[in-house]
A and B are shown apart, each in its own frame.
Chain A
Amino acid sequence: MYKNKTAIVGIGQTEFSKKLDPSELELACEAVLAALAEAGIHPSEVDALGSYTMEDTSEAELARTLGFGDLNYFGQVSYGGGAAPGVVGQVALAVASGVAKVGVVWRSRKRSDPRSRVWSQVNARVDDHWKWSRPSGLLRPVDEVAMLMQRYMYEYNVSREQLAQVAISQRRFAHKNPRALMAGREMTLDDYMNARMISEPLCLFDNCLETDGAIAVVIVSADRAKDLPQTPVYIHAYSQGMSQQHQVMSDFHRANPLHHNSNAAASNLWRQSDYGPGDIQAAQIYDAFSPAILFSLEAYGFCKEGEGADFFADNCLTASGGTEGLKLAINTSGGGLSEAYIHGMNIVLEGVRQVRGDSTAQVKGLDNCLITGCDPTPNAAMILSRCS
């Protein structure tokens, strides 16, 4: 069994910034050392590593720089922002099964340079599945998500004013979080409605931030976790998700393109979990683009299809940046839209903080948190728990 057999016992991060001078390797080292120090574990004990296929720092480079021991598990997960809970979950599998003892997961990324954006690096000739859309001017991830959101708004009669509540709520949480890039930067409904469009129907504030920074987490067995300094944050359940007939990002050819990979991750996650959607007190939902919040609320079973915007307004919208009275607190650090965008790893950290009880927008009495990966790519989700 996997349930509660492993725990996150250390988290580390660099500053989040529009521009950091150190290399991605140096940022990775800073975050990993901080996570290990917090966990009370020496780098020479690390024997498992997990990372994204899009990570530019290799396991070998990190391991020899920081003096890790012999490595017995190292794996990568594909599909960019879908990866985070998948990387953590796979390293936890290695630890839970006894293959390895001390796992580190990291993501280091200098994304603020516009030349680093994947869409700007498209080749003159395209031969993967994007040959069917990019030559038509459907170029960027935001365009691909906007295509689905336009249909969703038509199908379920959802307005831009309703979608705006997602960005506004997360901005309010960010004001409480000194690490957040957008702390103190007010955003009203007027600001949202008057913002420049990026891909209609989506505007600037529906897009995540471009951020430099690195993040790391340390995973050990539940037995070992009990002897370490931090409150153990147990990995209660995890699943990856790739729906049948999925096409990465431009997922337009399924029977119903408004059903996403999250549906596949969700059903297998709940199958393994002692919690159901009604028991979840906080969720950190991957938000490269704001529509993912509404799509995910439906896919993870918090509400019915088409009811995401109403559910959000009634249950998730913070008035002041606090969590009092919310049935489900979402992206309590500000998330990708208003804290930082470290490819979904910063919301993993916020999930850990919520379960430890030291979030800047702490949900009182919380003992679990859902964390999800990118909705329109193959993804993953996990439930963190305070109870073993």
Chain B
Amino acid sequence: MIHDIPLPVVDNPIDAVFWQRATGGKLAVQVCSSCDSARFPPRPYCPTCQSSDHQWHIASGAGTIWSYVVPHAPLLPAFGEQLPYVVALVELDDYPDIRLVGAITESLEADIQGIDGSYVAIGDSVSAVFKKMDDETFLLRWLKAVDSI
């Protein structure tokens, strides 16, 4: 069993752009150059028109909580130490077909620990922020919008 938080591979050519943009605090979305469909997770071909041509757009980062969970033990040690925390699935406001998983945070300094289920509700507005784990690896967190706290 690993003792640190599992991290994503960030240099796979299929999704490396997402992780590179994340280091700059930007949420990148893969969009088909042929039919303009956005897709997530990144893939080498468009499932709508089968084109391999694509671009990366920068989303606003604003989103709405579609659902969330509050994990309890037993967990990996690194997550057990973070309890309580909440993980949300969020729909992007400017790409409504796209949903991304991220833990809820009150601030990047405090990170994910100490958030319980009463802090969030389905339908809450959130925005994307990125927590630095190492020089290349920044994880998406969802920061609750000030006007919905």
Contacts and interface: CB of A to CB of B under 8 A. Distances in A.
Interface stretch (A172-180, A249-257, A259-267): A249-257
Nearest to A138: B87
Contacts of A139: 71, 75-76, 79
Contacts of A119: 76
B97 A252 contact: no
Nearest to B97: A255
A21 interface: no
Interface in A191-242: 196-201
Contacts of B66: 151, 257
B67 interface: yes
A151 to B, nearest CB: 4
A245 B7 contact: no
Contacts of B102: 136
A387 interface: no
Contacts of A132: 8, 41, 100-101
A125 interface: yes
Interface in A115-131: 115, 119-127, 129, 131
A135 B139 CA distance: 8
B99 A253 contact: yes
B2 interface: yes
Contacts, number: 114
Contacts of A197: 70, 72
Nearest to A197: B72
Interface string A149-189: 01100100000000000000000000000000000000000
A138 B100 contact: no
A143 B67 contact: no
Contacts of A134: 6
Contact of A131 (B8, B67, B98, B117): B8
A162 B9 CA distance: 41
Contact of B8 (A115, A127, A247): A127
B84 to A, nearest CB: 10
A147 B6 contact: no
B1 A115 contact: yes
Interface of B: 1-2, 4-9, 12, 40-41, 47, 66-72, 74-76, 79, 82, 85, 87, 89, 97-103, 112, 117, 122, 139-140
18 contacts: A120-B1, A124-B2, A124-B6, A126-B6, A126-B9, A136-B101, A138-B101, A143-B87, A146-B69, A147-B69, A150-B67, A151-B66, A151-B122, A200-B70, A200-B72, A200-B117, A253-B41, A257-B66
Given A148-B67, A200-B117, 9 more contacts: A122-B2, A122-B76, A133-B101, A135-B8, A135-B139, A146-B69, A154-B122, A199-B70, A250-B101
